[in-house]
Amino acid sequence: MTPRTPLEARTAWRAVSDRDRSDGLAVAVLASYTADPLLPYLGIALHDAGLPSHHLVGPIDQIMRQCLDDSARTAAFRPDVLVVSPRFEELADNPQWTNDLLDLADAAAATVDRWAGALVFVLPATPRRTFGAGEAAEAARARQAVRERLTGLPNVLLADLDEPVRALGEGAAHHPTMFALARVPYTEQLFSLLGTRLARLVLTRLGAACRAVVVDGAALGAAGAAALRPAVRGWHEGGTRLAVLAAGDPGELWGRLAADCPELVAHSELTVHDGGEHPAVALGLPPASVAVVTTDPARHQRHGGVLLGERPELWETELLDTALFDRPPPARQRRTERAPRPLVAVPESVALDDFVASLDVEVTFAPGTDHLAAVAETVSRAKDFTLGNDRTADQLAGHGGELVAVSVRDRFGDHGVSGAVAVTWADGYGTVEVFSLSCPVLGRRVEDAVLTELRRRGAEHGCPGLVFRLTETRHNSVARTFLRDAAAQHTGIHVLTWDQPAPAPARAENGPAVDLGIVAFGAALPEPSEVAEHAPTYTDELDRVNGWGYRRFHRAPEGVGLTDLAVEAGERALADAGVDPAEVDLVVLAIADLAEYLYWDPAAATQARLGARNAEALLVNQACGGGVAAFDLVAGKFAVHPEYHTAVVIGANRVVDPYWNRMAMNTSVYSDGAAAAVVRRDHGTCRWLVTEVLTDGEYADFMRMEVGAGARPFLAGEADQPVVGNPQDRLDAFFAGDVRRMFAFVSMIRERGREVVDRACARAGVSRSDLRKVLHFNDNMRQLADLAKDLGVPLADTNIETALDHGHVGCADQLLALRRLTAAGELSPGDLVALTSTSSGMHWICTLVRV
Amino acid sequence: MSASAQLNELVAAVLAVPVTSVTDEDGPATLPEWTSLRHLELVVTLEEAYGVSFAFEEVRSVPTVGALRAVLATKGCAR
């Protein structure tokens, strides 16, 4: 056959690609550039060789991500053959080429192993741009390293892009205009050569097999037809298509065959009249995959295939010597039966999260009007990640809302303005009509960063909801999938077409009575001590203490009192917030233990020492729940004092060791310390939504020390040092040894813990499933596991790490945990967090904040 | 075949639409088959058919077949 020109190849491919689309070999191409022009040449070459195929080109420059992500488009396509073609130009700058290319090669090889396919790795061509000697050498080193790494691996084939580039010459191989236009770096001639070479490689691995047998019925006598019966049965059972070639009256032919070879009558798809054209045409298959079995030398001359000898009794043997019983690659069957093996099966491969983290992606935002041309260019060119709403530069400039330019840098370089968002804030929602990202920055979690930024800005605008107005296009499934996943994960995100009605105006949940949020945190924690090391000095029940899981606790030095810790935490929070103490309107101190003195107000003392001379001071003594309940009190004070704008909430704890054995008096290891939060009216982050408190005074006597207060004052000279009893003794005494009542008490504690959270959620108009984190008091590991189970949240989404690292710091626990998560960036704008406590009294308390 | 008819034929062939549905006023906005990928194919097909090379600015955004024809005319290809 005369080689096709590129235009002829594309035209021929268009004619066959529809027919081959859902059958045959599944070929996926992952490249760092736009590789779509490769398909016609690869596809038609495979087709001509008798191997029909259909194709997927993965997202541009996402080779690693597509390889690692078994939920990505390429994995879903289940390719039989994966073609991977990186270019040096898209890799990070020298000298990392060797490592980067080896990483890609390793990931691709591991991927085809997982997917049970074959890999064709295309060694990148030596870059065209002018490089120094060192860089050229690095390119050669990288190519050689990959060649050595992949050579000999099962199911891995190597192609070399340098060969067609050299064959054509640099000038004829590269297409700068197309690269500028659509990141197509090469000419059609280059793609044509590459496609043909790749097809040849694939054929060496998978070969072409007979897909149909056309039996020349006209040339068969009765004995011949009968002799073919076993072969016909074999072809049919093997899935080979069958047809009969007829020269005369087909009715007469079928009559003869019905008597002599009924299998052929039963299994043939059609009768092909021998009109000179190859019978493959009638079957819609390439000639190379169709064998004409005949005894007529003239027909054999015309159509090829198998020429049977004169003795029918030998035909079975003759046919066995042909390739007609070889099966084609079981591509379709494998695709439906096999499932990708989990990623963990390939420990040597880079994990997706690690890969993305290694990119050092930096996303920045700027007013879109400052970069209007670049924004308009990005919007017009984005095809995969776009809402599908075309907007011209003029329309973007005249957009009434906020236009945002998204710029991206990573270790591969500065991508510049690579995305754009147009959003209008109203009625509690940000309505987004443009959210476009250019293909080269996809797969780097830029879309997540943009969504987080939108939610943060929404919180600032008092718009907790986001509405994405979408027009479905043939190409924007990436954006649609991302947004629908986001809507499933976060409340308040709606993905709507333009004809769907807008959601009801969103007030932040049910709307708190007073708008206030946390501006900054502060903490004061004495030097930590190891629980394991110090436990023997507190208790003999070491197994019990060890079972709680605490790693460290904090013990204040002699002479450091509760208000010392409270003042230190408060000062740090005020400094971090940049608030002058004189601006503070309210100081709330929550304590669970005793302060330094009796007949003394530690809240007032703290106010004075903070220098908050204009503030009202409020002491909260609601045991360990005081730090959580304090928000309700701040809201109440703010409601009735419109002039109040700033409050400092402090939870502090200082164990009075003579009365309270910090490792034996309860089921926690108690710590000394304090945490503070500066709270401001109308502040948009960590917004207080609601506080719910359940109190059951029936249990007020459960946690008390008998001596020392008004009922039985200490008397000087008493022989026995008064202490709080241990929990078992207190249970026995309180429930008079009634085990069933004790059990009911413990069950009730857990049940009410869940109830208070549900009540808070109901008041706020959210559900428990919306909670991103539940930050309880720093209870022991087992109790927190029970709490997580009761609330249906993962243990990791509680304060477990804070608890085990710090011990139970009285009413400072929840603020410490919230401070830790905020500082670590583990919370995103819009996340819903529950601060909960169960405390003596008894109280069950839940405060909800929206980050 | 006239150069004018040839352009229409090429556009129709690349977009896989009847040649009768291609007029000078048609473009990506009126022909849904004129996708970005087809646009690329159209560019290389025209380069091959007319033996010309396009600059980025000439082909980055072509609103209609008529505009394409005008670009070709500037390169000495008969309209």
CATH code, domain carrying B65: 1.10.1200.10
Residue A796: how many other CB atoms lie within 10 Å: 9
Same domain? For A172 and A238 the reply is no
Residue B29, domain extent? 3-74
**Residue (of A177, A155, A200) closest to A45 by Cα position:** A200
Same domain? For A784 and A836 the reply is yes
Identity of the residue in A176, A178, A182 whose CB atom sits nearest the CB atom of B36: A182
Same domain? For A567 and A666 the reply is yes
Same domain? For A173 and A250 the reply is no
Last residue of a domain, one of A173, A206, A239: A206
The residue type at A90: E
**Contact of A525 with A552, CB cutoff 8 Å:** no
Rounded to a whole number, what is the distance in Å from the CA of A181 to chain B's nearest CA? 6
Minimum Cα–Cα distance from B56: chain A residue: A177
Does some domain include residue A23?
Answer: yes
Same domain? For A765 and A826 the reply is yes
Q: How many CA atoms lie within 13 A of A432 on its CB side?
A: 28
Interface contact flag, A14 B16, Cβ < 8 Å: yes
Identity of the residue in B40, B54, B55 whose CB atom sits nearest the CB atom of A37: B40
Q: Which two tokens stand for residue A333?
A: 């069957």
**Contact of A51 with A203, CB cutoff 8 Å:** yes
Identity of the residue in B40, B48, B53 whose CB atom sits nearest the CB atom of A7: B48
Same domain? For A316 and A368 the reply is no
Rounded to a whole number, what is the distance in Å from the CA of A176 to chain B's nearest CA? 8
**Residues in Cβ contact with A69 at an 8 Å cutoff, skipping those fewer than 6 apart:** A75, A352
Confidence of residue B57 (pLDDT cuts 50, 70, 90): confident
Residues of B in contact with A190 (CB under 8 A): none
State the ipTM, two decimals. Answer: 0.79
Residue A375, domain extent? 361-496
Interface contact flag, A7 B45, Cβ < 8 Å: yes
Minimum Cα–Cα distance from B58: chain A residue: A177
Residues of A in contact with B36 (CB under 8 A): 182, 383
Does some domain include residue B25?
Answer: yes
Residue A334: the pLDDT is 39
Interface contact flag, B40 A181, Cβ < 8 Å: yes
Interface contact flag, A36 B37, Cβ < 8 Å: yes
C-alpha to C-alpha distance for A656 and A85, rounded to whole angstroms: 69
**Residues in Cβ contact with A421 at an 8 Å cutoff, skipping those fewer than 6 apart:** A368, A402, A403, A404, A406, A432, A434, A435, A436, A450, A454
Q: How many domains is chain A built from? A: 5
Does some domain include residue A790?
Answer: yes
Low-confidence residues of chain A: pLDDT under 50: 328-349
Residues of B in contact with A41 (CB under 8 A): none
> What are A's interface residues with B at a Cβ cutoff of 8 A?
5-7, 10-11, 14, 34, 36-37, 175-178, 180-182, 184, 187-188, 380, 383, 474-475
Same domain? For A173 and A228 the reply is no
**Residue (of A654, A675, A665) closest to A555 by Cα position:** A654
Same domain? For A656 and A758 the reply is no
What's the pLDDT tens digit per position in A303-337?
Answer: 888 888 888 888 888 887 776 776 544 443 333 34
Q: In this structure, what CATH number is given to the domain that contains residue A790?
A: 3.40.47.10
Residue A346: the pLDDT is 36
Does some domain include residue B36?
Answer: yes
Does some domain include residue B19?
Answer: yes
Does some domain include residue B79?
Answer: no
Same domain? For A172 and A226 the reply is no
The residue type at B52: V
Residues of A in contact with B49 (CB under 8 A): 7
Residue A487: the pLDDT is 83
Q: Which two tokens stand for residue B71?
A: 């670009």
What is the maximum alpha-carbon separation in chain A? 128
- Number of A to B CB contacts under 8 A, please give it: 44
Strands lying side by side in the sheet with A832-839: A616-620, A586-591, A646-653, A673-681, A516-524, A687-695, A843-850, A832-839, A771-775
Does some domain include residue A560?
Answer: yes
Pick from B37, B44, B47 the residue to mutate for testing the A interface (most A CBs within 10 Å). Answer: B44
Minimum Cα–Cα distance from B44: chain A residue: A188
Interface contact flag, A180 B56, Cβ < 8 Å: yes
Residue A95: the pLDDT is 62
Rounded to a whole number, what is the distance in Å from the CA of B24 to chain A's nearest CA? 23
Interface contact flag, A180 B36, Cβ < 8 Å: no
Q: How many domains is chain B built from? A: 1
Identity of the residue in A11, A181, A474 whose CB atom sits nearest the CB atom of B13: A11
What's the pLDDT tens digit per position in B32-46?
Answer: 888 877 888 888 888
pLDDT over threshold 80, residue B3: no
Last residue of a domain, one of A685, A709, A728: A685
